Amino acid sequence: MTLAEILPTVNAVLNGTSAVLLLAGFVAIRRGARDVHRAFMLAACASSVLFLAGYFTRIALTGTHRFPGGGALRAAYLAVLGSHTLLAALAAPLILRTLFLAFRARFPDHRRIARAALPVWMYVSVTGVVVYVMLYHLAPAP
């Protein structure tokens, strides 16, 4: 297998890992475990950064991919992809701002922004996996 063939699966795993780490970080902070929360959230950031590196590498190697299916499956794919793409663009500045506020120990502001950033980031991570499954496993082969 080539790198271009492996990257979509690796990227989906990284997206899924981010989602799991985000959930674990959320649970940790709700339990008052700040150090554990910080570790999980930094790991989620690392997983997301690795995903971005893999995603841009795959795009450089193979370009974008058109969904080969049609009908209702294509419509569902485009709806998920569209919302995923739009919210991914929104997620980046939200995540960066949330991290900045945490590193500056501005926790009331951090908490306020994180309430928006977490669900957006979680949605983007989960729908990244959904897009992968739809594109590489549900769509009929061309």
Give me the sign of the Cα torsion angle 4, 20, 78, 86: negative
Is the model's pLDDT at 141 over the cut of 80? no
For the stretch 33-63, pLDDT in tens is 999 999 999 999 999 999 999 999 999 999 9
Taking the model in full, what pTM does it have? Answer: 0.93
Give the Å distances, CA to CA, from 73 to 12, 70, 88. Answer: 20, 6, 22
Of residues 15 and 69, which shows the higher confidence score?
15
User: Which two three-digit tokens encode residue 142?
Assistant: 């061309």
Note whether 90 and 120 are within 8 A (CB): yes
Separation between Cα atoms, residue 52 and residue 105, nearest integer Å:
27
User: Domains in the chain, ordered, with CATH?
Assistant: 3-138 (1.20.120.80)
| Mean pLDDT score, 128-138 | 95
Reported as a single tens digit per residue, the pLDDT across 6-37 is 999 999 999 999 999 999 999 999 999 999 99
95-106: average pLDDT:
97
Q: Is the pLDDT of residue 142 over 90?
A: no
**What's the chain's average pLDDT?**
96
Residue 78 vs residue 142, higher pLDDT:
78
